[in-house]
Amino acid sequence: MRVSLLVLLGSVFCTAQSPAQTSIAGPAASVLFNRLPRSPLQSMPWEANRDTVQAQIQPTYWKEGALIGGVLGAVGGAFLGHGLCEDSEELGKNCTGSLFLGGVLGAVLLAIPGALVGGQFSKSESAQEDRPE
């Protein structure tokens, strides 16, 4: 009993900090509070770290894929929701809500994978030229 009390008191009062427990420096000042340039020719402090390479994002068919997936999901979900409602034991039940809810859920669930699949195919040069901008 005495030994466990001594070990407990010794661990509470005689502790040393490990290097991971030492305090760290606080956060750096925000770029919003830095001194603003005096003339328009000087750059802003936060502009120094900007990326100078322009991103070249190729257009893809993600919107078309989302549309196709959404339509297929809406039709399939509506059939599934209506079919499950029709199989219920309640006589004379109105299945319009189940039909609508199944269509919406199916559209949402299949539009996302459709967009991901459509995003894997890049548009060709001729498809971009046909579109007015």
Among the listed residues 69, 133, 132, 63, the one whose alpha carbon sits nearest the alpha carbon of residue 106:
69
Residue 106 lies in a domain: yes
> Would you mind telling me the total number of residues written for the chain in this entry?
133
Whole-angstrom Cα distance, residue 38 to residue 102? 61
Q: How many domains does the chain have?
A: 1
In a domain, 32, yes or no: no
**133 residues of the chain, pLDDT tens digit each:** 777 777 776 676 666 666 666 777 777 767 666 655 556 565 555 555 566 667 788 899 999 999 999 999 999 999 999 888 888 777 777 888 889 999 999 999 999 999 999 999 998 866 555 555 5
Q: Please indicate, yes or no, if residue 14 is contained in any of the structural domains.
A: no
What are the tokens at 40? 């328009």
Q: Which domain holds residue 76?
A: 62-122
3-state secondary structure (DSSP) of residue 131: coil
Contacts of 16 by beta carbon, 8 Å cutoff, 6+ apart: none
Predicted confidence at residue 106, as pLDDT, reads: 95
* pTM of the predicted structure, to 2 decimals: 0.53
